[in-house]
Amino acid sequence: MASRQKLNAKTIRGMKPEDRAKLLNDLRNELLRLQTQRERGTLENPGRVRAVKRAIARVLTIMNEEIRKASK
């Protein structure tokens, strides 16, 4: 899953748009799973929630940059 690879901006920018969309979908699914675990009280690594949220924000930022760059 996405947690195995390093998700820095350079890596995300090097991806194809389809791969970025799939990554974003995977991260959102993981966040939903983590939030469910947190509600049940079975979450093992609470810091992972924050990391996934940041990764989602990073992907969305880069996607928006690409859209703005294309519209110029």
Residue 64's domain spans which residues? Answer: 15-71
> Residue 1 pLDDT more than 60?
no
Query: Structure tokens of 61?
Result: 């930022």
pLDDT at site 2: 46
pLDDT per residue as tens digits for the range 20-29 = 999 999 999 9
> pTM (2 decimals)?
0.88
CATH number of the domain at 60, please: 1.10.287.310
**Is 5 inside any structural domain?**
no
* Number of independent structural domains in the chain: 1
**Is 67 inside any structural domain?**
yes
**Is 54 inside any structural domain?**
yes
> What gap in Å lies between CA 55 and CA 44, rounded to an integer?
19
When pLDDT is cut at 50, 70 and 90, the band that residue 72 belongs to is: confident
**Is 6 inside any structural domain?**
no
- Return the ∠ at Cα 5 (arms to 50 and 21), rounded to 5°: 75
